[in-house]
């Protein structure tokens, strides 16, 4: 049987992942999917049951609460945050598997044909002897970021069960729509009241992230002209062909599947339509702000050139900035990163720091004035059927939260 370092961590996680919270990138509602509210309301009740104060689920579906200080001296107010929504992959009927004392062999996912094989996923070799939670092959797991949610709730429960442990005031928040890039934009940093915070939303053990992409989304719509193919010459404008030609005008190397490290990209992730009308959706990413702006300008130039070739305005572009590089916002607040480094080091965890090829809510929050780097929560292979997480890594994340509290609570 699995022996837990922190009581309730596994049960919390299994409970949370079974609640469907997939966000909807096409929705303008708040939250983007009403399914997210079910977990938020459950967490609202759990926070109240733990005895936290100021438990509030606001009109933007952001749940906040406060663990009051038990110190006899002042300490900076720390925040812990995680998001409840899952990514754009099947999340209905999540049926997690618990694999105890993993033996390093392939893991069959449910009754289907899929398996987690170390030959395909070498990271599995890091988890021999540990307890793994996987999918059954039909859905994602949702450890991104329900592992973070469970870890924060478990750390709070641990502090409440051990009043002898000293802690400053701790603010917690659970947010919707991180996967759509919109949830944190509605966050009220002033009302939250923390001096600094951490999103618990990273991957494997030791991840500490404070450098992210600059990010934008692009929607390109193409109005074609559909006529009978018998009389099409010189008349037809095939919107799908225009889309193909437009994609071909972008740098062939600058795609996610051909880039790594600090290399940016244009990512065409959706193309649909007919001869008459087509729609293209892009992600634009770069760590360097100047190169990021140059990428956006390059896409504008491609669209303008395509319209010039067509002889009329048939291609329209809508560009939306999503978030900016977290590192730039934290440049004057590196003590927040240093605190996380120290906590991990004192626990025997080697901080794994690298430029993230993605982003977190912390990017948005840091530009709002709340310095918020990101620490590991544990999931591997996020956003799809091969997702899994180690219980021991989740326990380590709880330990890091508690150690950061200890360090932050010490009198000067």
In the chain, residues under CATH classification 3.30.70.360 are 215-323
pLDDT computed for residue 1 by the predictor: 56
The per-residue pLDDT for range 111-139, each reduced to its tens digit, is 989 999 999 999 999 999 999 999 999 99
**Predicted pLDDT of residue 26:** 86
Average pLDDT of the residues in 400-411? 95
Per-residue pLDDT tens over the stretch 156-169: 999 999 999 999 99
Strands, E assignment, 39-121: 53-57, 63-67, 78-83, 97-99, 107-108, 115-116
Q: Is the pLDDT of residue 358 over 90?
A: no
Helix (H, G, I), strand (E, B) or coil at 179: coil
Question: Model-level pTM greater than 0.85?
Answer: yes
| pLDDT above 70: residue 83 | yes
Confidence at residue 283, expressed as pLDDT on a 0 to 100 scale? 96
Strand residue runs (E) in 176-332: 196-202, 208-209, 214-223, 265-273, 277-286, 315-323
The pLDDT confidence band at residue 174, using thresholds 50, 70 and 90, is very high
Average pLDDT of the residues of the chain? 96
User: Catalytic residue among 24, 169, 178, 361, which?
Assistant: 178
**Angular region, 132: left φ>0, alpha ψ -120 to 50, beta rest:** beta
What CA–CA distance (Å, rounded) separates 384 from 138? Answer: 9
4 pLDDT higher than 90: no
What's residue 297's pLDDT? 98
Architecture per CATH, domain 9-211+325-409, reads as 3-Layer(aba) Sandwich (3.40)
| Residue 254 designated active-site | no
* % the chain with pLDDT above 90: 93
Q: What is the mean pLDDT of residues 310-334?
A: 95
Write the burial class of residue 356 (CB in 10 Å: 0-12 exposed, 13-18 middle, 19+ buried). Answer: buried
Contact between 95 and 82 (Cβ < 8 Å): no
Least confident of 18-27, 316-325, 354-363, 366-375: 354-363
Domain ranges in the chain with CATH number 3.40.630.10 = 9-211+325-409
Q: Of the listed 20, 24, 85, 380, which one is catalytic?
A: 85
Task: Calculate mean pLDDT across residues 319-333.
Answer: 94
Architecture of domain 215-323 in this structure: 2-Layer Sandwich (3.30)
Q: Mean of the pLDDT values across residues 263-282?
A: 98
In this prediction, residue 75 carries a pLDDT of 96
- The C-alpha atoms of residue 311 and residue 309 are separated, in whole angstroms, by 5
Mean pLDDT of all residues in 16-45: 96
Give the pLDDT confidence score for residue 412 in this predicted structure: 65
* pLDDT(2) > 80: no
Alpha helix (H) residue ranges in 200-258: 239-248
Instruction: Check residue 55 and give its pLDDT.
Output: 98
Query: What order do you get walking across the sheet with 388-390 strand by strand?
Result: 97-99, 132-134, 388-390
258 pLDDT higher than 90: yes
Ordered alpha helix ranges (H), 109-265: 143-161, 189-192, 239-248
Task: Mark whether 178 is an active-site residue.
Answer: yes
The conformation of residue 32, written as its DSSP 8-state character, comes to: S
Res 183: pLDDT = 86
Mean pLDDT of 280-304: 98
């Amino acid at each position: 049987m699995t022996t837990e370092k922190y009581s309730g961590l596994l049960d919390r996680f299994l409970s949370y992942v079974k609640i469907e919270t997939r966000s909807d990138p096409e929705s303008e509602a708040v939250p983007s999917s009403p399914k997210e509210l079910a977990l938020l309301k459950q967490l609202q009740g759990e926070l109240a049951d733990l005895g936290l104060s100021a438990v509030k689920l606001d009109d933007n579906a952001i749940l906040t609460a406060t663990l009051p200080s038990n110190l006899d001296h002042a300490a900076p107010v720390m925040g812990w945050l995680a998001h409840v929504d899952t990514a754009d992959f099947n999340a209905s009927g999540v049926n997690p598997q618990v694999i105890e004392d993993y033996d390093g062999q392939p893991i069959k996912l449910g009754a289907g044909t899929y398996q987690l094989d170390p030959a395909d996923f070498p990271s599995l070799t890091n988890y021999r002897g540990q307890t793994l939670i996987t999918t059954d092959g039909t859905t994602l797991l949702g450890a991104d970021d329900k592992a973070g949610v469970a870890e924060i709730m478990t750390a709070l429960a641990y502090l409440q069960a051990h009043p002898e442990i000293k802690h400053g005031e701790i603010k917690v928040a659970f947010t919707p729509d991180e996967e759509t890039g919109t949830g944190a934009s509605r966050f009220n940093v002033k009302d939250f009241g923390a001096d600094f915070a951490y999103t618990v939303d990273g991957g494997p053990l030791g991840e500490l992230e404070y450098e992210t992409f600059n990010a934008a989304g692009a929607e390109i719509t193409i109005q074609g002209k559909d006529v009978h193919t018998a009389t099409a010459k010189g008349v037809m404008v095939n919107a799908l062909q225009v889309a193909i030609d437009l994609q071909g005008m972008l740098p062939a190397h600058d795609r996610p599947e051909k880039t790594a490290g600090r290399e940016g990209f244009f990512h065409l992730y959706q193309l649909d339509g007919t001869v008459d009308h087509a729609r293209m959706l892009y992600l634009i990413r770069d760590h360097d702000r100047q190169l990021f702006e140059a990428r956006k300008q390059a896409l504008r130039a491609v669209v303008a050139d395509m319209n010039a070739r067509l002889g009329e305005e048939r291609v329209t572009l809508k560009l939306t900035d999503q978030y900016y590089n977290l590192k730039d916002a934290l440049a004057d607040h590196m003590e927040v990163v240093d605190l996380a480094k120290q906590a991990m080091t004192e626990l025997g965890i080697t901080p794994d720091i690298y430029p993230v090829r993605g982003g977190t809510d912390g990017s948005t929050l840091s530009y709002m004035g709340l310095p918020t780097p990101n620490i590991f929560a544990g999931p591997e292979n996020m956003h799809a059927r091969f997702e899994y997480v180690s219980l021991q890594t989740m326990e380590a994340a709880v330990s890091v939260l508690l150690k950061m509290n200890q360090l932050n609570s010490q009198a000067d």
